Amino acid sequence: MSGQQSGNETQSHLSAPRLNERILSSLSRRSVAAHPWHDLEIGPGAPQVFNCVVEIAKGSKVKYELDKKTGLIKVDRVLYSSVVYPHNYGFIPRTLCEDNDPMDVLVLMQEPVIPGSFLRARAIGLMPMIDQGEKDHKIIAVCADDPEYRHYTDIEQLPPHRLAEIRRFFEDYKKNENKEVAVNDFLPSETAYEAIQYSIVQTSTPPYGPGGQSELQGKRFFINL
């Protein structure tokens, strides 16, 4: 009996797909990998509270950015001098701005976050910025699940030195690369909500055409500042 049972177990073991085969089979059934820009929902609380995909961790000297074609986070460059990102930096999924990129967001929180992760953020303001003659505005937000920062609802509640730190970072790292940049006065949370709302794209179609260029159709953020 034990020999027959052992034989049955061996036959069952041999007939069962191996773990690697099952994983590969499951992956092969997926025609397209999830893309953080257009597959991740912005979140039911938008434009006030939204999902944010982190591209660059707080304290990083490496500038990562989304590769639009693959959806992976790639290394763009290493920043000059000793400048590092003062807070986590990323983008809001399912948004499209004037530069054909998703809406940029700087998220204040206690700890650095691994690039490619996403978190819930609360918009508290907007930083108008002109980068080499083109608009490159940034949403300023706090992590909605960080007890140190989640109580902030407007940028005016931040200490003045925190705002100076943010402004100085964007001014300095661009100037170190011999690029002209102008950072204007911070705007309140209501302006940030409006900017996010106008940038939300109502489509589930992948936003890539020939050459991986964005072809998202929807509302774009053309705020006059």
End-to-end Cα spacing for the chain: 84
Tell me the C-alpha distance between 127 and 167, whole Å. Answer: 8
In the beta sheet, which residues pair with residue 88? 107
Tell me the C-alpha distance between 87 and 170, whole Å. Answer: 12
Of 64, 85, 89, 152, the active-site residue reads 85
Q: 109 vs 38, 41, 86, 113, CA distance in Å?
A: 25, 22, 10, 9
For residue 85, indicate whether it is catalytic: yes
Helix (H, G, I), strand (E, B) or coil at 47: coil
Residues marked as catalytic = 85
